[in-house]
Structure 1
Amino acid sequence: MNRPSAKWAQAVAEAELRRPLPSRYAHSKGVARRATEVAGIVVDDAELFISAAVLHDVGYAPRLAETGFHPLDGARFLRDTHAADARLVQLVANHTFALLEAEERGLRDVLEAEFPLPEEQLLVDALVYCDMTTSPDGEQITAEARVTEIIGRYQADSVVGRFIRRAAPEIFAAVGRVEAVLAGQPR
C-alpha cells in the first residue's frame, strides 16, 4: 500500500474495534474527528495523519493482542496483515510516547528496532494532541483532564500508571506545541 486512505483506515478500525470494544472505537473515531479538525497543520500529510488517528488504538482489538502492548500489536497487524504504509505503521507504533510505556514493559528495544520513531515531530505531536484531547467516549476534553482520567483508571504502581505519570510532562509539552502552531494559523 502506498499512501494511506482515511476511508480504508476507518474501515479497518471499525472492523477490528466496533463490536469487541465499542468504547475504544468511539475514542478512535473521536481522535480521527480531532485530526480532521487540525489537519491543516500537517497539510501535506493530512491523509496519513487522519489514518493514524483512527488506527492508533487498533492494537487493543482482542484478536490482535499478542504482546498486550497495543501500539506494538497494532503496528505489527497493520504491517503484516495490511502491508500498510511504513510511516503510518511508525505513527501507530509510537503514538503518545509509546516508547516510555514500552520501557516500562521491557519492550523498548523491540519497539525501537521494528518501528523507529518518525522524524516528523509536528506529525507525532499532532497525534499526541488528538489522542490526549479526546475522552474515552470520543468527546473533546483538555489534556489535563485526559491524563487525570487515565490516572484514575489505573493503579499508581501499574505499568500504565507509572507510564502516564512519567509521560505527562511530555504529553503537555506536545499539546502545547500543537496549540502554538494552531494559534499561529490564519483563521
Structure 2
Amino acid sequence: MAIIDLHHRALTVAGAVVARVRSTDLARPTPCAGWDLAALLGHMVGQNHGFAEAVEAGSAPRSAYAPRPAGWPASADRLTSAFATAPPDRVVLLVEISEELRFPVPVVAGFHLLDTVVHTWDVATALGEPFRPDDELVAATLAQARLVPAGAARVRPGAAFAPVLPAAGDDWEQALALLGRDPHGRLAA
C-alpha cells in the first residue's frame, strides 16, 4: 500500500482514539515527558496544520506547527487533502526537521505517519486503553522509527523523541522502544 494511503489510515485510526477523549481527561499524564493530554492533543493538531501548510505551499514557518487547543477533525481533513492533491514530485521544507533539506511528499507522509501512530498510542495509553495499529501500520511505523537518529539530540530539552529503550518484543514494541516509549505503557508526565 502506498505511504499516502497508509498515512490516511493512520489519521483515521487516530481520529477514532482522539474522539474518545473527554474534557475530564485533558489533565491526564501521557507517555510524553512534561505533557498532559491537553498538551499532546494541541501538539497533534498543530503538527497536522503545519505539515498541511508545508505540503500545500512547499514550506511553512515554525508558527504553522504551533499547538492548537482543538480541532482534530478539521486538521486531519486538511492534511489528508494536502497529501491527496500534492504533486508527487513536490519537495517540501519541514523546518522542524531541517532548515535546509527538502523532502519528497512521500517521505513527508512517512514522517507524519510515524508521529501520528506513536501519538495515537500516547493518547490511548493516557486514557488507560490498549492500542496496537494493524500490521501494515506497525511495519510502516517501525521502518520510520529505524530512520530516526539516536544520540545527543534525544536528550536535549524539547527533543522530539526520548532516548532509545531496550526492547525484545514484537515489531510494535520495538518501534515504541526506538522512539523512547516504554512498550508497557508507563506514563512519563
What TM-score bracket applies, with the shorter chain setting the length? Answer: 0.3 to 0.5
Greater share of strand: 2
Give the TM-score normalised by structure 2. 0.39
Give the TM-score normalised by structure 1. 0.39
